[in-house]
């Protein structure tokens, strides 16, 4: 009887050990499965994180690229470039072009260091940029101390002659205020401003460094308005005057000889002119 009992106990023990072994094996499988799942999840999470980081980087780079393009080109032109990869020159029948130039710039370059000269131009042109932006104008370019901007393109509007004249008056006032605050300084400059209204062709030139530019006789006449003007004055053509004469008080200067253009009717827009 004792033998049978010991045998049963031995069998029960073996069975329990078998059950325990199976349980341990199952736990090991579950642990392996859980670790595999965690490892897989970690890999997926890592790839997702890399993807999101890369996508955010590309998005930021694209936004930065768009910002740089918008600093160089009008928004409408940027959209056309992104859509078509190119842009065509366009004829604009009626825009208003403005040129500014500093009196005494050559003398100023002799009296200032290169760093001081650049700081002076940056301060002035930075203020001009803000002024024309408020008046729906596009900056075209600067050449030395000359600043060129236009109203009425690429998005046409009927108020561009008035907008550009207002911008010219604000630029004149900015320079005058600056002169008053810098009395006696060697960079005490004055500005001439010329404005003309007429047709132009506008578009991008070059393939490496894009430059949005305008061409036509209107550009040449606007330049002559500036060079035939006086420091501290906004000099406009008969064409621009015909658009703004009901809004601004102007003084007719008569017919003034403009280089290579003959005699042209010119007008000074007076200070405190809006009526």
pLDDT tens per residue, range 253-272: 999 988 888 899 999 999 65
**In the chain, domain spans:** 1-72, 87-274
Of the candidates 99, 162, 101, 111, the one whose C-alpha atom is nearest the C-alpha of residue 135 is: 162
Please name the helix (run of DSSP H) or strand (run of DSSP E) that holds residue 96, with its range, or none.
Answer: strand 90-103
Strands 262-274 and 248-258: antiparallel
pLDDT confidence of residue 5: 52
pLDDT value at residue 274: 47
Report the pLDDT value the prediction gives residue 181, as an integer from 0 to 100: 81
φ/ψ of 217, rounded to 5, equals -65, -30
Can you tell me the distance from the alpha carbon of 154 to that of 132, in angstroms, rounded to the nearest whole number?
14
Q: How confident is the model at residue 275, as a pLDDT?
A: 45
User: What is the per-residue pLDDT across 99-139, written as a single tens digit (0 to 9) for each?
Assistant: 999 987 877 777 888 888 888 899 999 999 999 999 999 99
Per-residue pLDDT of the chain (275 residues; tens, 9 = 90+): 555 555 566 666 666 666 666 666 767 777 777 777 667 767 776 777 776 666 666 666 566 656 666 666 677 766 776 676 667 778 999 999 999 999 878 777 778 888 888 888 999 999 999 999 999 999 999 998 999 999 998 777 889 999 999 999 999 999 999 888 876 555 578 899 999 999 999 888 776 767 788 999 999 999 999 999 999 999 999 999 999 999 999 999 999 988 888 899 999 999 654 44
Fold designation for 87-274:
Alpha-Beta Plaits (3.30.70)
- The tokens describing 207, both together, are 């393939």
């Amino acid at each position: 009887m004792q033998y049978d009992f010991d045998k049963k106990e031995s069998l029960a023990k073996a069975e329990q050990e078998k059950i325990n072994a199976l349980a341990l094996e199952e736990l090991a499988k579950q642990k392996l499965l859980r670790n595999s799942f965690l490892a897989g999840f970690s890999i997926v999470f890592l790839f997702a994180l890399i993807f999101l980081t890369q996508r955010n980087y590309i998005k930021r780079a694209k936004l930065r690229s768009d910002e740089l393009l918008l600093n160089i080109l009008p928004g409408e032109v940027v959209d056309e470039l992104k859509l078509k990869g190119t842009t065509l020159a366009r004829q604009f029948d009626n825009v208003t072009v403005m040129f500014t130039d500093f009196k005494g710039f050559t003398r100023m370059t002799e009296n200032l260091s290169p760093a001081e000269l650049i700081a002076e131009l940056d301060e002035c042109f930075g203020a001009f940029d803000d002024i024309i932006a408020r008046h729906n104008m596009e900056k075209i370019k600067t050449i030395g101390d000359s600043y060129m901007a236009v109203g009425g393109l690429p998005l046409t509007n009927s108020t561009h002659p008035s907008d550009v004249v207002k911008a010219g008056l604000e630029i004149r006032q900015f320079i005058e205020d600056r002169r008053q605050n810098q009395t006696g300084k060697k960079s005490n400059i004055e500005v001439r401003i010329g404005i003309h209204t007429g047709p132009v062709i506008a578009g991008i030139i070059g393939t490496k460094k894009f430059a949005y530019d305008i061409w036509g006789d209107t550009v040449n006449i606007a330049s002559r308005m500036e060079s035939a003007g006086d420091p501290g004055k906004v000099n406009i053509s008969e064409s621009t005057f015909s658009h703004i004469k009901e809004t601004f008080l102007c003084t007719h200067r008569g017919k003034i000889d403009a280089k290579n253009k003959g005699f042209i009717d010119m007008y000074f827009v007076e200070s405190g002119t809006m009526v």
